[in-house]
Structure 1
Amino acid sequence: MSDQPSDASSRPETPPESPVSVDPVESAPEPASEVPREGPGRAKAAGKPARASTPPVPPQNAGPDVPKVPGYLQAPPRADVWQRRGQQPPPGVLSRLRPPSPSVIGPATLWSVFATALLSALLLGDGLGPNLLIVAVPAALGAFFAARTAGRRLRPWTAVWAVGGLALLAIPALREAGWPVFLAVVSALALGSLALHGSRSWPGVLLGSLGLFPSAAAGVRWGWLGVRARADDSRGRVRTVVRSTVVAVVLLVVFGALFASADAAFADLLGSLTPDVSVGDSPWRVFLFVLGLVGALAAAYSAAAPVRWDGITVRPGKARNRAEWALPLIVLNLLFAAFIALQLVVLLSGYDTVQEKTGLTPSEYARQGFWQLLWATVLILLVIALALRWAPRGGPGDRTLVRSVLGSLCVLTLVVVASALRRMDFYVDAFGLTRLRISVAAVELWLGVVLVLILAAGVFGARLLPRAIAVSAAAGVLAFGLLSPDGLIAEQNVERYDRDKTIDIDYLKGLSADAVPALDTLPEPLRSCALRDFERDVALADAPWYSSSWGEVRARDILEKRPVRNHGVECYRLGQETGERDGYEEKDPYDPY
């Protein structure tokens, strides 16, 4: 029941409304907020009538009335048959980790990208050398300009990755051997990607080293949109630049040809500086241009909008109790200790003790166990990673237990690394150094460095461990290339020959030009037999300066000063005498070289 009186006379009288046609389907009651309410405290008996609602006034000059379509006749919106109703596709991994698209590409970045593509087409078609470092400079500048436009600052670790990548690209300029050059180029790309993304965690370092590949398509689209936007805004300036460039090229060609025909020295200088471009290799040059363009755009886009790979988190494993976690590792430590107790005799003694204890020659002893120790080192790193994942995390006592058990395992594994390197030393002294032997010895030495870094992380914290291991790997590749492995192989084999041991000339002939200085010290006819293939390769090679390494140039100078003599019969006899490779009849199954 209502608390207000129901007398009809108290209700205000409303004037009659003009008749308005209302569609029964579209008509609806007015909202309650528009109905005048009378509160109990209002002076209703004063007799003031309520203001009547004014009828809607149709607008003047209105067109003909458009009949409204009833709601039940309206067509429902079309639904996506590939998507469930009310759901949207989840965002991709890259869209969640990458910031919004950067602003329009700047002119400095565009010119740097174009310079990278042009230099790639002109210089990289003749081989690798200093040209790779030359091409990397404008690409790095383009990434720098893009990062500065996006508001990113240069951080210390970014500078470390960038300087390391450029240093690795100096290896092709110094060494002729293809295998250290390949390692250096791959490592330089990985460090450049880390410099652009700024990763610090394990997923960030591992995935960030490959981060340029996801940015390739986005970088091309970004560059195309930027070129279109700037072409629309400055058509007159673009035409001016094109005309100026065409005129400059014509002037250079005309007057350069005149000066070259007038002076032979100037013609030689111009020919050595100018890239040798022919019509026959046009498809290859076009491919290199596109490759340089896409790579530079991917680097610039990554610098402006890097993927935050650190956003990928790896959940730690379920913590185990102390007994369950520590018992297997303690047993493994005891096994390592027993093995190392016997290895110390070999590490601290020489050849005679090896034969006395094992009944094997030092070379047979080394060949028997090196690969097993190498795999043991790799597996120990896997065991340490899994043990840290399921380690107990209850308090200070658990942390002390984890550090003690895993620290002991790392120290014992370091002794295993030393034993493996000692075995390789026996092996090399008996049969000589080869590419495979120096490579696996370098890998074993780097694994020892990783173990030392893990020990340091247990003492000082593991925050820098992922980046420290990446730095150690890059430093190892850089040192490996700077030491010239082919040159070391040749030097070691020449030293063995000076100590009245056998030398495999057929194997040494297959090395790169980096081995020529060491082989040049051999007596005749060994010197000429070892260098005749190098002289033929140098005579046939007509590489320009930008694709010639320092090792190749040095070999050419040596062979020009001391030409190779003809010792056909002696060289054939030497090949027959050293037919059994490395001085033993049974071939090493692990050494394809």
Structure 2
Amino acid sequence: MSTPLLDQVTSVKVKLGLLVAVSVTVASILAAVGAVGTVPLWLSIPVTVALALGVTQLLAVGMTSPLREMTAAARGMARGDYSARVTASSSDEVGELARAFNRMAEDLAAVDRQRRELVANVSHELRTPLAALCAVLENLVDGVAEPDPVTLRTALDQAERLSALASDLLDLARVDAGEVRLSTTQVPVLELLERAVAEAQVSSREVQYDVLVTPSDLAVPADPARLHQLIGNLLDNASRHSPAGGVVRITAEATSTGWRLEVADEGPGIPAADRDRVFERFGTLAEADGGGGTGLGLAIARWVTDLHGGTIHFVDPAPRSTGARVRVDLPREPLQPTPVTRKAVMTKPVDSPAPSGPSTPAVPPKPAVPSAPAVARVPEPGMDMMFGKFWPEAGLSGNLRAVLYCLGVGLLAGIVLPYRDLGLGTFVVLLAAGGVILGFSVNRRSRFTLACAALCLLLAVTVVVRDAEWIVVLCLLAGGAVCMAGLVNGRTLPAFVLAGIAWPLAGLRGLPWLGRSAQAVKGLRASAAALRTVLWSLLGLLVFGVLFASADALFAEWAGAIVPDIELDSFVLRAFITVAVGGVVLAATYLGLNPPNVETGSGPTRPVARRYEWLAPVLIVDAVFLVFLAAQATANFGGHDYLERITGLTYAEYVHQGFGQLTVATALTLLVVWAAARKAPRATAADLAWLRGSLGLLCVLTLVVVASALYRMHLYQEAYGFTQLRLLVDVFEGWLGLLVLGVMAAGVTLKASWLPRAALLSGAGFLFLLAAINPDAWIAQRNLDRYETSGEVDWDYLQGLSADAVPVLATLPADVAGCALTGHEPSDDDWLEWNFGRHRAEPLIRSHPTATNCVSKPAG
């Protein structure tokens, strides 16, 4: 993993300041460059914001990841997993916190390991004497053995062993709990050693004890009970491992810093590499192995030493001697135990080297670090916490290929789109973008997604076939909506809305994924080498090409024929378009790779408890529709005079006034049907009958309203002419009527899961069919038909139609054709701007001169 850029900064405040300063500077430079390149604001602002966010993400890498790793590691510790470690590469406060967290995790892991070992070892030590004691008692109970002194002595030995183990464990518990306090007095060392030797000799072990104290009257300040416990455990260990007839030598002497005690035996000894481990609880190496002890003697000796502030360790035996030799160095004044000392007792490592002489009171050493600590996984980065369950990103790895493909589409758009009208080049860019988006979509095998992709392709074809920008733009917007719905594989209207919202949000949600994709470059050494080669080659070509072009006119002409003349403002505009289109395609690609949970929370709703709660509002709406239709019938049968006498409006004004309201009413009716169908209970046959009857009546009345609205618009267009907006609302009203029919079909089967997808695809399909009939040509033809019958026409409006209408307008008589074609100029498109509508209109425009004496009669 690459080192974050701000890791060497030692303050979080400074990092945040640098982050803000760099982001603002980048945004300002981009805004200034966009202004110099005359980039429009609608393109400059989103590109500037996107690049500033990218720079922020790049600089902010590693600032908060240790905190998220600590959260994940803490959750693991709560479950008993202490292996996680936090990446601590930064030098600021967060990095220091991460390193402190790692040290704490190491301490907790050591403590947990020792706790587990303690439980296992205690269980093992208890099992042996208990098993022996149970066996003796069973023999006595079964009559197999007699209760003679030998048998009873065996049972007593095992019971004493259990008692000794319990006593040792109690001592250790007191030490760990910090309850052991030293009660120091002046202790004569020689007297203490002789008393300890006398007690050791009672054990009936066949060893001899040699005591030497220098000076003989040596007295030290210590806790006599604890010091006796220390010496007793050392003598017990030495005697158990000495051979029969061996000698255990005990020496004590004053030193410059305190006094030293040594106990040496003639046993097998302890290897130097294992000398510190025998002080662990239940140590099983060499001297601590066998002999019938509890396995806690040396551990208690070590903790008593630590309580006095001294050190204990095994050293090499004396010259020409064998066996083990333990050395205890104690200070002149013993130290009272502190929490730090207890921690040292609990976490002292097993692999630290034995000290060679007296030292200061023990400082808790750093616990042994696990050989391969696991790095804490970060399951919830900042974006995961922001988007929650709506948009998780579990297991999504980086995809450098997807990023490069999207960048290629953006570069293609930057080359093709600027300074060109919609045409073949635009279609090529759309086709490339759609191929990349669909190719990386996880739902690309879904039938609905494939249907959406096919419909998007048909809608994209309009940029090549039609010159009317209004219908082409609508088709492209519809194609974008259909594309998003297909990528998320949505099934409901809220899912489609959320998919549309998720597209721009993908630019933010996908930033971590983009970072992971960029990090993949470091593993592609061959590709990196090829990229460096290309960059150096282009630099050489540019430098020497410019030099030779400025030095030789013929070379400059040859170069000009190959290289396009790109000025500064053109380069800036192309760069902005590259970033904008590439970013939009990349956001859609991420949406396809990791679609959000758009269906979350769209489950069935609880119906109302009483039927009238939903039925009464529906019946009232039915009644209003019936009254409205009665008014419509009265107006139709009463005639124009009756309508003008009652309302004061002409019939044309009357039909124009109500069309918009009827369209809104139709849309609201669909909302009423949707809400009622969700809330109506369906438990009984009566419930279903009322549901079908009331909503079915409402749908039938709505169809009548749709027919009335279309009839009104027809009359209005006959009176005042045909326009693009009027044709579009006609199509929209017809689509609403189709949805009403779909709702009626769903009401029959009471299954409407197919309806949202059908509504989406049919709406986009209606737009495509509208583009297919050549709407501008259709409008021109209807206006010319009206011109022939009434002599009224709006030449200004016809002149504003696109080149799609030129073939129809050219059919006018020569004396008026020029009026309709005024404003249309022959196109000088290159092959990337080729468009069927402009191509077909060009020869007709050239063959008809423009007229200057055209008088318009507005169409209302």
Fold conserved between structures, TM > 0.5: yes
Q: Could you say if the C-alpha distance between residues 244 and 344 of structure 1 is closer, same or farther in structure 2, counting changes exceeding 3 Å?
A: same
CA contact (8 A) 1:105 1:146 kept: no
Q: With a CA cutoff of 8 Å and minimum separation of 6, indicate the structure with the bigger relative contact order.
A: 1
User: What letter matches 1:68 in structure 2?
Assistant: P
1:150-229 to structure 2, matched below 5 A, reads 154-229=445-520
User: What letter matches 1:160 in structure 2?
Assistant: A
Partners of 2:417 and 2:504 in 1: CA distance: 21
Partners of 1:90 and 1:249 in 2: CA distance: 42
Partners of 2:390 and 2:723 in 1: CA distance: 48
User: What letter matches 2:418 in structure 1?
Assistant: G
The equivalent residue for 1:264 is none
Partners of 2:391 and 2:808 in 1: CA distance: 52
> Unpaired segments of 5 or more residues in structure 1?
1-27, 70-87, 262-266, 585-593
1:33-432 to structure 2, matched below 5 A, reads 33-34=122-123, 36=126, 38=130, 41-43=134-136, 45=152, 46-47=154-155, 48-49=157-158, 50=161, 51-54=292-295, 55-56=298-299, 61-62=353-354, 66-68=362-364, 91-107=385-401, 109-126=402-419, 127-147=421-441, 154-230=445-521, 232-240=522-530, 243=533, 277-313=566-602, 316=605, 318-341=607-630, 343=632, 354-355=639-640, 358-359=643-644, 362-432=651-721
User: What letter matches 1:469 in structure 2?
Assistant: A
Q: CA deviation at 1:471?
A: 1.0
CA contact (8 A) 1:325 1:392 kept: no
The equivalent residue for 1:484 is 774
Partners of 1:318 and 1:138 in 2: CA distance: 48
Partners of 1:401 and 1:275 in 2: CA distance: 72
Q: Could you say if the C-alpha distance between residues 141 and 434 of structure 1 is closer, same or farther in structure 2, counting changes exceeding 3 Å?
A: closer
The equivalent residue for 2:165 is none
CA contact (8 A) 1:490 1:508 kept: yes
User: What letter matches 1:494 in structure 2?
Assistant: L
Indicate whether 1:546 and 2:844 are aligned. no
**Equivalent residue for 2:848, pick from 559, 563, 567:** 563
Q: Could you say if the C-alpha distance between residues 304 and 238 of structure 1 is closer, same or farther in structure 2, counting changes exceeding 3 Å?
A: same
Q: Quick one: percent identity of the two aligned structures? A: 29
3-state DSSP of counterpart to 1:312: coil
Indicate whether 1:436 and 2:725 are aligned. yes
CA contact (8 A) 1:115 1:138 kept: no
Partners of 2:829 and 2:448 in 1: CA distance: 37
Q: Could you say if the C-alpha distance between residues 544 and 276 of structure 1 is closer, same or farther in structure 2, counting changes exceeding 3 Å?
A: farther
User: What letter matches 1:558 in structure 2?
Assistant: L
Q: Could you say if the C-alpha distance between residues 243 and 199 of structure 1 is closer, same or farther in structure 2, counting changes exceeding 3 Å?
A: same
- Alpha-carbon deviations, 1:25-83, whole Å to 9, x = none? xxx9x8795573748844253345433223249557346775139xxxxxxxxxxxxxx
Indicate whether 1:508 and 2:601 are aligned. no
Partners of 2:686 and 2:565 in 1: CA distance: 70
Partners of 2:587 and 2:362 in 1: CA distance: 55
Q: CA deviation at 1:315?
A: 6.1
Q: CA deviation at 1:346?
A: 7.2
Q: CA deviation at 1:174?
A: 1.8
Over the aligned positions, Cα root-mean-square deviation in angstroms equals: 3.8
Partners of 1:514 and 1:250 in 2: CA distance: 48
Q: CA deviation at 1:418?
A: 0.2
CA contact (8 A) 1:505 1:529 kept: yes
User: What letter matches 2:640 in structure 1?
Assistant: Q
- Alpha-carbon deviations, 1:328-353, whole Å to 9, x = none? 32233233234335545778x8xxx7
Q: CA deviation at 1:319?
A: 0.8
3-state DSSP of counterpart to 1:53: coil
> Unpaired segments of 5 or more residues in structure 2?
1-114, 138-151, 162-291, 303-312, 314-349, 366-381
User: What letter matches 1:281 in structure 2?
Assistant: S
- Alpha-carbon deviations, 1:89-125, whole Å to 9, x = none? 9944454433415223153x34422320111101121
User: What letter matches 1:533 in structure 2?
Assistant: G
Q: CA deviation at 1:361?
A: 5.1
3-state DSSP of counterpart to 1:281: helix
CA contact (8 A) 1:316 1:389 kept: yes
Q: CA deviation at 1:218?
A: 3.8
User: What letter matches 1:43 in structure 2?
Assistant: V
CA contact (8 A) 2:466 2:771 kept: yes
CA contact (8 A) 2:777 2:805 kept: yes
Q: Could you say if the C-alpha distance between residues 183 and 249 of structure 1 is closer, same or farther in structure 2, counting changes exceeding 3 Å?
A: farther
Worse-matched range after superposition: 236-245 or 169-178:
236-245
Q: CA deviation at 1:275?
A: 7.8
Q: Which has the higher strand share?
A: 2
Q: CA deviation at 1:250?
A: 9.9
Q: CA deviation at 1:132?
A: 2.8
State TM-score, norm by structure 1.
0.75
Worse-matched range after superposition: 93-102 or 382-391:
93-102
Q: CA deviation at 1:177?
A: 1.9
Q: CA deviation at 1:221?
A: 4.3
Partners of 1:511 and 1:94 in 2: CA distance: 49
Partners of 1:162 and 1:181 in 2: CA distance: 17
- Alpha-carbon deviations, 1:200-225, whole Å to 9, x = none? 13321221234322212344543443
- Alpha-carbon deviations, 1:290-314, whole Å to 9, x = none? 0122122222222221112112326
User: What letter matches 2:409 in structure 1?
Assistant: T
Worse-matched range after superposition: 401-410 or 195-204:
195-204
Q: CA deviation at 1:286?
A: 0.8
Partners of 2:388 and 2:427 in 1: CA distance: 30
The equivalent residue for 1:532 is 822
Aligned length: 506
User: What letter matches 1:159 in structure 2?
Assistant: L
3-state DSSP of counterpart to 2:748: helix
CA contact (8 A) 2:706 2:733 kept: yes
Partners of 1:516 and 1:275 in 2: CA distance: 34
3-state DSSP of counterpart to 1:154: coil
The equivalent residue for 1:83 is none
3-state DSSP of counterpart to 1:141: helix
CA contact (8 A) 1:133 1:166 kept: no
CA contact (8 A) 1:129 1:548 kept: yes
- Alpha-carbon deviations, 1:345-388, whole Å to 9, x = none? 778x8xxx742653465423322332332222122223223322
